[in-house]
Amino acid sequence: METVIVTDVPRADRAVVEEFSGIGAATVGEALGRSGDLGSDLRPIQQGTRIAGSAVTVLSWPGDNLMIHAAIEQCGPGDILVVATRSPSEQGMFGELFATSLQQRGVVGAIIGAGVRDTQELRDMSFPVWARHINVMGTVKNTPGAVNVPVILGGQAIDPGDILVCDDDGIVVVPRLEADDALAKSRARLAKEEATRTAFLGGELGLDRYGMRPRLQEMGVTYRRHPEAG
Amino acid sequence: METVIVTDVPRADRAVVEEFSGIGAATVGEALGRSGDLGSDLRPIQQGTRIAGSAVTVLSWPGDNLMIHAAIEQCGPGDILVVATRSPSEQGMFGELFATSLQQRGVVGAIIGAGVRDTQELRDMSFPVWARHINVMGTVKNTPGAVNVPVILGGQAIDPGDILVCDDDGIVVVPRLEADDALAKSRARLAKEEATRTAFLGGELGLDRYGMRPRLQEMGVTYRRHPEAG
Amino acid sequence: METVIVTDVPRADRAVVEEFSGIGAATVGEALGRSGDLGSDLRPIQQGTRIAGSAVTVLSWPGDNLMIHAAIEQCGPGDILVVATRSPSEQGMFGELFATSLQQRGVVGAIIGAGVRDTQELRDMSFPVWARHINVMGTVKNTPGAVNVPVILGGQAIDPGDILVCDDDGIVVVPRLEADDALAKSRARLAKEEATRTAFLGGELGLDRYGMRPRLQEMGVTYRRHPEAG
Amino acid sequence: METVIVTDVPRADRAVVEEFSGIGAATVGEALGRSGDLGSDLRPIQQGTRIAGSAVTVLSWPGDNLMIHAAIEQCGPGDILVVATRSPSEQGMFGELFATSLQQRGVVGAIIGAGVRDTQELRDMSFPVWARHINVMGTVKNTPGAVNVPVILGGQAIDPGDILVCDDDGIVVVPRLEADDALAKSRARLAKEEATRTAFLGGELGLDRYGMRPRLQEMGVTYRRHPEAG
Amino acid sequence: METVIVTDVPRADRAVVEEFSGIGAATVGEALGRSGDLGSDLRPIQQGTRIAGSAVTVLSWPGDNLMIHAAIEQCGPGDILVVATRSPSEQGMFGELFATSLQQRGVVGAIIGAGVRDTQELRDMSFPVWARHINVMGTVKNTPGAVNVPVILGGQAIDPGDILVCDDDGIVVVPRLEADDALAKSRARLAKEEATRTAFLGGELGLDRYGMRPRLQEMGVTYRRHPEAG
Amino acid sequence: METVIVTDVPRADRAVVEEFSGIGAATVGEALGRSGDLGSDLRPIQQGTRIAGSAVTVLSWPGDNLMIHAAIEQCGPGDILVVATRSPSEQGMFGELFATSLQQRGVVGAIIGAGVRDTQELRDMSFPVWARHINVMGTVKNTPGAVNVPVILGGQAIDPGDILVCDDDGIVVVPRLEADDALAKSRARLAKEEATRTAFLGGELGLDRYGMRPRLQEMGVTYRRHPEAG
């Protein structure tokens, strides 16, 4: 495992990042062609919060939060701390004291690919966290790792500086260099969803709106009345 | 996999179905002789909501929500959409746009044996959903399946038109043709629970109320003071 | 499996137990040298509640709540009911009626190493529960077990009379005879955390506060500017 | 839970059942239109064994094997014992002594939707078993259930008398009344697979054999040389 | 976490321990009144091996095998190395080199509550191992733990010197001080099983041998011919 | 999801790749600084086989093996087919017919991040496979994906042309461009392990060989005789 702390990571334009926070992870994921999602295991400890930020990544040894300390110095306004461990771990490697430091630096949230604790305190201080586990048990600070190297989390490769869009549904990663394009596609997707919503509210069916009736027929789907129907 | 859409499914009497919604899944399951529960994996995305409705069933290919579009047309007031997939899937195959269509038709909720997304929007619009996973990632519409055929979900066979009773504890299925009998038994169970509650509030013990002391003795259960007791 | 009900279990001093309830599981676990936690599987059914109490333990056969009835008589003010099963079970073996009895006796909560049901009612009556599963399905009362014997739950040995500290992060067990020492250490840990919080709010970094910079260097951790940095 | 033992269950023709044992679960499942599989959780305790037989079904309380005793009397030559539990259980509810009784009656194997034990003895006596868990721990005999009622196992409904085809890949259920049709389709599938095998051995590609090249193009799949290609 | 290495642990009589190795885990577990099993997660990496030995226990930090090195010096002929980690870990903390040292000292096997690697080499050298995971990835040696303290593994408390009986079905722990009694009960159980086997081979049913017919009737179990029976 | 098939992927030198096959995954992973492992979920369907090969990667839609057909044409001697799915899937997307095509082209094995079937036939034809699940149920061919794009599998990024070292312990990925360096380090590691093995066979302890005694002391690890020691 490499033991390096990378500094001066470029971030995407702040205004671009912030616009993602108003859109939502599912819409951005669709706009990206159904990609970038971190799966269903990383769950929010709060409800109703939607954020976007630039990744400061940490690669930690399981049961060891030494490198989170090293990472905090690399975090700034608009960032999200992203912690991956070298193998699965459930221990509570992030809590209220780290969040205090991060919030003081303008960091908007954290994604912990292991366990989090102090969950009530984190909700009370409005510091949002997504994590795999909630766990009382803490960690040691004995084994080195890396900060701001590419990490794999939730089946996605995340580079430092990539944009993370997080809400109650989960997390989507947008590569930093594709941010502008992804934002344009996300806006288009939002508009399309709004039009569909209006149509559905008016009673139009997806079957008709998307022209699915002939396709169902081609696929051999047939209609049949229930045997007990009157 | 059969590829058919069954129409004109008979439902149980609307008043009967609605009365179940006031009773709760655990009580109905007990009244049915401890049967009909869909296990502990299908969790509500909201808290404090209790519904009952008639099943419109969907059998979908994993990662594909084509048949949900076809099913919506078969849904009406008082129904619950029930989606099973042919093999386990975590993808978010149901979200706010489907819920918009369903709510417009009077559907009271959905049970998704895979993933759901747009969870905050669904809570905001008061459309209750029970699901196995919450997942940003969406689906394609390429593979046919079936609507209103019998499905297996949570270890239970569900026929279209069966009644589903859903709350924070989970889900119980009541076969359509047993609805009246199940309702009578559920009312009786409710009354029994109320009497027990009153007795327990008054300090009576289950040990005495259910005559368990002699049974414990027969089973060889003995009493012993703690060695450190004064 | 032994079939005995142990009576007259000694408890720790009530004032000591209650002071733990104001401290929180993570802090107590740290104070104990990172030990005593029951892992990440036992989750609260409510949010924002912190309790501590003396364990009344139950060892039940899976799918059978007979011994919980026998245990209630052994419970008193300030106790927490702790239920372990002889092998993994998801069934809902605890619910509102048991909670009614327990609350009437002054019991402050329950920890169920299987399933719980009536979760909305339990929240409504402010009886806090931690459990592995939420499950509609109930149990029988056919197989004996034991009350107030040592049990293993969440990878910890719990003796009757031990203190359990429970909150949103999970559960920590404090051995009864170590209660005073654990409380002193927990108070010290609280004070240390408060000082760290103040330092972090003032912008001090953990790297500096804990003297980590030289240790990182010794471990071979190096700093490197990002290749795209200006 | 119903408490009944159904006797005199009709079986499919013995010769038909036995022919399935030479075909294999995957081929039969494909022939049935990709249906009938019991998923990936029920694993064989032996390797290289392929059987088919008629289901004698058992619905047991978790941790209780009383009804298996009752079921043995209903088993005869060519049968497979199929045990489902009312909720998930890992306990070893089946072992060598049951297998001795069953083998004495001509039963060809067992499918246990919970735990099995005596696995080495079962392999030594050539009695094949598929199970969810391997577990030392045994069961009690205190709670009634049912024999030869429809059960749900591995996401499939199994009626008594249905045919089960079991091998290293898993299990497929063939409804008794569809046995002849399923056998004809399975034979056809076998022949098709044999022809494909010969073609593939000769170097033909699936892309060409199944006419996939134009379909890939229609779907927008493009070819691109690797940037480092010579 | 305590950081101590306990030396000179008393073992049970060697002849007693060795006799358990001929009996098998399931039989010993039954003889102990269905207790002592370590559940279904610790699986053997080999097939057909049955051992018994005295526990040398290790409590390790996850992802760290430092204390295994310290434990080897405490191991001698007839011992089994038992490794628990402070929180769940999948890393391969035990392999062929450790086994070489242990085998050189007469140790008969190892139980690893985390991951093992070099599985083919371990089979080749006939050093049996039971483990939760098989995993290529190794560990560091940075964090202290304990040797020969009581550990919890597989839901059981294991004291150093306790006897472990391990085979293809799993593992049972026999407390050191109960060894003689457990052996006597195990022999009696073996004899009982042999008599039952002979009876079953002769066609006697458990229903009759255990007098279950009247009990089934009392429980309300009824017999009914299948509706399609001739 | 990108829909492209990349051709003419460069491979590492064939002799280098083949030498890895004699070394073993755990040793290569250690040599790489404890990195590159694909975790504990991808298990071999055979025992005692060790291979290494160059990755031909496939990114498939869950439940759909269309792109495996497209990938076969891109495979040649010494390659390993590596299949990732866009979200978790248990379906059997690879079996004997694909293996027949691949073996005919000189491919040495397959890694399937979903389900495999025809496992007995695959063992009989000596085509080794590592997979997450074994599952009877097959797939459709309706949804496009990609061939020879970077994929994430088992928490590792795999580029087409990377080297995979696979055995009973699991899988390690060696980046193509680091192959020579990794091989040199692996040879050195092998030599070091051989020397350690000789020392351990001679009775030397790791405690002494690695100079751990003073480190344990520094960490505060103490020795204590067992209270019952003579």
Identify the band that residue A2 occupies on the pLDDT scale cut at 50, 70 and 90.
Answer: confident
Res B219: pLDDT: 96
Q: How far is CA B192 from CA C63, C118, D201, F13, F159, in A?
A: 22, 16, 71, 77, 65
CB contact under 8 A, B39 and D155: no
Chain D residue at shortest CA distance from B152: D155
Give the residue carrying structure tokens 């329950």. C110
D34 contacts on F by Cβ (under 8 Å): 137-138, 140
CB contact under 8 A, D37 and F137: yes
Give the pLDDT confidence of E115-125 residue by residue, as tens digits: 999 999 999 99
Give the pLDDT confidence of D4-45 residue by residue, as tens digits: 999 999 999 999 999 999 999 999 999 999 999 999 999 999
pLDDT at D230 over 80: no
Identify the band that residue C230 occupies on the pLDDT scale cut at 50, 70 and 90.
Answer: confident
Which of F23, F172, F200 to substitute to test the interface with E, most E CBs within 10 Å? F200
Res B72: pLDDT: 98
Give the pLDDT confidence of D106-142 residue by residue, as tens digits: 999 999 999 999 999 999 999 999 999 999 999 999 9
Question: Residue E26 has which token pair?
Answer: 């399931």
Give chain D as a 3 state SS string. CCCEEEECCCCCCHHHHHHHCCCCHHHHHHHCCCCCECCCCCEECCCCCCEEEEEEEEEECCCECHHHHHHHCCCCCCEEEEEEECCCCCCEEECHHHHHHHHHCCCCEEEEEEEECCHHHHHHCCCCEEEEEECCCCCECCCCCEECCCEEECCEEECCCCEEEEECCEEEEECHHHHHHHHHHHHHHHHHHHHHHHHHHCCCCHHHHCCHHHHHHHCCCEEEECCCCC
Mean pLDDT in residue range B23-39: 95
CB contact under 8 A, F223 and E138: no
Alpha carbon C113 to its chain's center:
11
Mean pLDDT in residue range C147-167: 98
CB contact under 8 A, E73 and F205: yes
Give the pLDDT confidence of F152-196 residue by residue, as tens digits: 999 999 999 999 999 999 999 999 999 999 999 999 999 999 999
Mean pLDDT in residue range E71-79: 98
CB contact under 8 A, C34 and E2: no
Question: Quick one: CA dihedral D59, D60, D61, D67, positive or negative?
Answer: positive
Mean pLDDT in residue range B155-181: 98
**Residue B21: which residues within 8 A CB-CB, separation 6 or more?**
B50, B51, B52, B53, B165
Helix (H, G, I), strand (E, B) or coil at A100: helix
CB contact under 8 A, A87 and F156: no
Instruction: Round the average pLDDT of chain E to a whole number and report it.
Output: 97
E96 contacts on F by Cβ (under 8 Å): 197
Considering all CA atoms of chain D, what is the largest pairwise distance in Å, rounded to the nearest integer?
73
Identify the band that residue E230 occupies on the pLDDT scale cut at 50, 70 and 90.
Answer: confident
pLDDT at B230 over 90: no
Mean pLDDT in residue range C110-121: 98
- Residue E60 backbone class (left: φ over 0; alpha: ψ -120 to 50; beta: rest): beta
Query: CATH: 3.40.50.300, 3.40.640.10, 3.50.30.40, 2.60.15.10. Which one for C14-177?
Result: 3.50.30.40
**Distance, CA of D158 to CA of A3 (rounded, Å):** 56
Domain extent listing, chain E: 14-177, 186-218
Crossing angle of the two packed helices B179-201 and C96-104, in degrees rounded to 10: 10
C96 contacts on B by Cβ (under 8 Å): 197
**Distance, CA of B106 to CA of A145 (rounded, Å):** 55
In total, the C-beta contacts within 8 angstroms joining chain A to chain B are 123
Give the pLDDT confidence of F93-106 residue by residue, as tens digits: 999 999 999 999 99
Give the pLDDT confidence of C44-92 residue by residue, as tens digits: 999 999 999 999 999 999 999 999 999 999 999 999 999 999 999 999 9
Res F69: pLDDT: 98
pLDDT at D1 over 80: no
State how far residue D170 is from chain F, nearest Cα, in angstroms. Answer: 6
CB contact under 8 A, D225 and F115: no
Between chain A and chain D, are at least 3 CB pairs below 8 A?
no
Identify the band that residue B2 occupies on the pLDDT scale cut at 50, 70 and 90.
Answer: confident
Between chain F and chain D, are at least 3 CB pairs below 8 A?
yes
Res E182: pLDDT: 97
Question: Quick one: CA dihedral C134, C138, C142, C146, positive or negative?
Answer: positive
Mean pLDDT in residue range C131-159: 97
Which of E27, E221, E222, E225 to substitute to test the interface with D, most D CBs within 10 Å? E221
Give the pLDDT confidence of A142-200 residue by residue, as tens digits: 999 999 999 999 999 999 999 999 999 999 999 999 999 999 999 999 999 999 999 99
Identify the band that residue E2 occupies on the pLDDT scale cut at 50, 70 and 90.
Answer: confident
Which member of D39, D88, D152 has the closest CB to residue B156? D152
Question: Residue E193 has which token pair?
Answer: 């099983």
Quote the DSSP letter at residue A192. H
Instruction: Round the average pLDDT of chain C to a whole number and report it.
Output: 97
Which of D40, D222, D226 to substitute to test the interface with F, most F CBs within 10 Å? D40
Give the pLDDT confidence of E152-171 residue by residue, as tens digits: 999 999 999 999 999 999 99
pLDDT at C1 over 80: no
State how far residue F140 is from chain B, nearest Cα, in angstroms. Answer: 8
CB contact under 8 A, E89 and A140: no
pLDDT at B79 over 80: yes
Chains that touch B (3 or more CB pairs under 8 A): A, C, D, F
CB contact under 8 A, C1 and E35: yes
Mean pLDDT in residue range E84-91: 97
Chain C residue at shortest CA distance from D91: C87
Identify the band that residue A230 occupies on the pLDDT scale cut at 50, 70 and 90.
Answer: confident
Mean pLDDT in residue range B40-54: 98
State how far residue A213 is from chain B, nearest Cα, in angstroms. Answer: 8
State how far residue B153 is from chain D, nearest Cα, in angstroms. Answer: 7
- B129-134/B43-44 β-pairing: antiparallel
Res C2: pLDDT: 86
CB contact under 8 A, E137 and F37: yes
A157 contacts on F by Cβ (under 8 Å): 150, 152, 157
Q: DSSP string spanning E80-112?
A: EEEEEESS---SEEE-HHHHHHHHHTT--EEEE
E132, E40 contact by CB (below 8 A): no
Q: How far apart are the first and last CA of chain A?
A: 69
F64 contacts on B by Cβ (under 8 Å): 63
Identify the band that residue E67 occupies on the pLDDT scale cut at 50, 70 and 90.
Answer: very high
E210 contacts on D by Cβ (under 8 Å): 69, 141
Which of F11, F42, F121, F137 to substitute to test the interface with D, most D CBs within 10 Å? F137
F141 contacts on B by Cβ (under 8 Å): none
Give the pLDDT confidence of A107-125 residue by residue, as tens digits: 999 999 999 999 999 999 9
**Residue E96: which residues within 8 A CB-CB, separation 6 or more?**
E118, E121, E122, E125, F197
Res E26: pLDDT: 97
Q: Phi/psi of residue D86, each to 5°?
A: -65, -20
Which member of D48, D201, D222 has the closest CB to residue F120? D48
A55, B162 contact by CB (below 8 A): no
State how far residue C201 is from chain E, nearest Cα, in angstroms. Answer: 30
CB contact under 8 A, F226 and E160: yes
CA-closest candidate to residue D112, choices D74, D70, D160, D56: D56
Which of B117, B135, B141, B143 to substitute to test the interface with F, most F CBs within 10 Å? B143
pLDDT at E1 over 80: no
State how far residue F18 is from chain A, nearest Cα, in angstroms. Answer: 25
Instruction: Round the average pLDDT of chain F to a whole number and report it.
Output: 97
